[in-house]
Amino acid sequence: MTESPLDVVCFGETLVDFLPSAPGQRVRDVPAWHPCTGGSPANVAVGVARLGLRSAMVGVVGADEFGHFLRERLAAEGVDVSHLRQTAEARTGLVFISLDARGERTFTFFRTRSAEFLLGEADVDPGFLLRAKVVHCGSNSLHRQEARDATVRMLELARGADRIVSCDPNLRLHAWEDPSALKGLLARMLPLCTVVKLSEEELGYVTETQVPEEALARLSAMGVLLPVVTLGERGAVLLWKGERVHVPAPRVPVVDTTGAGDGFVAGMLHGLARWYGGARALSENATREELAALATFACEVGARVVGRLGAVEGLPRVEELAAVLPQRPPTSR
């Protein structure tokens, strides 16, 4: 029996985010918490599924109640969890998120030895990985050498098979005992990627410049075909074959900025998977105007996220976006 294809496979951390019952309080003052799925790659998998494509999550969670919670919640969203492994060797990671009056976050992590770090060679399944058009990852849980090697191997497999390889490092520098290890890891990962998305705050660490245009050029020099920098309320900027493309973001009230970048990535990968389906097709066929349309849509998805508490609650479903869903001109196909 032929297995059905996938559009996007995400791999990396899957966590439980605990959201406060109301913003504007310190963690110690929050009277009640609401558990949600979390972890940047998992958020992207949910975002892609809500936009009507087939997504899957590869990673490790605990064989505990929170691990069961994550598998059940992701499956209910339509995410394939057949390769989300549960282990008794570690607990599922937890994050408590407090919000100030502007929706900016403070994170309190309980993931020092959590299951997400146990990604390894056993989780590398080429047959499953290559059922997808797009392979997406982060760097946030790659503290063990085995996890780093497994991640690089998956990226190499995907790149060698002409898949669109995407990375949002989603840096959490405070979580690294030796940040130089992360530098070395990114030097291995990013040149294997077709698409790299950085937030404005991450530019200095990753590219050693705070200027978005310079950062885009440096990513391009590494071999990244489509480098993108998100600028918050100012939209996003990308570089396509030497040409800078800026798109605006919708003006919306901000409740919580958690997951806005993940929403952007889900929107972008949704378009890339639908329109191109492979790195070569993207390189040969994509136009500046098409990518501007996809980035504009991605900004719309990210803007929907910040209007609700948490990274997942505001991720829109495809039917909500019918009026802004970009249509590729027939002559471009």
- Residues assigned a catalytic role: 262
Question: Taking a C-beta distance cutoff of 8 angstroms, is the pair 79, 69 a contact?
Answer: no
**From residue 304, how far is each of 88, 108, 269, 271 by CA, in Å?**
37, 25, 16, 17
CA 203 to chain centre: 17
Query: Which amino acid is it at 254?
Result: V
Question: Taking a C-beta distance cutoff of 8 angstroms, is the pair 11, 89 a contact?
Answer: no
**From residue 137, how far is each of 14, 109, 140 by CA, in Å?**
12, 20, 9
Residue by residue, what is the 3-state secondary structure of 104-153? CEEEEEECCCCHHHHCCHHHCCHHHHCCCCEEEECCCCCCCHHHHHHHHH
Q: Which residues contact 247 (CB under 8 A, 6 or more apart)?
A: 235, 236, 237, 292, 295, 296, 299
Tokens of 252: 């919306």
CA 145 to chain centre: 21
CA distance 125 to 49: 21
Rg over alpha carbons for the chain, rounded to the nearest Å, is 18
**Residue from 233, 235, 226 nearest 288 by CA:** 226
Segment holding 226, helix H or strand E: strand 226-230
| Number of residues assigned to the chain | 333
**Residue from 137, 184, 186, 141 nearest 165 by CA:** 137
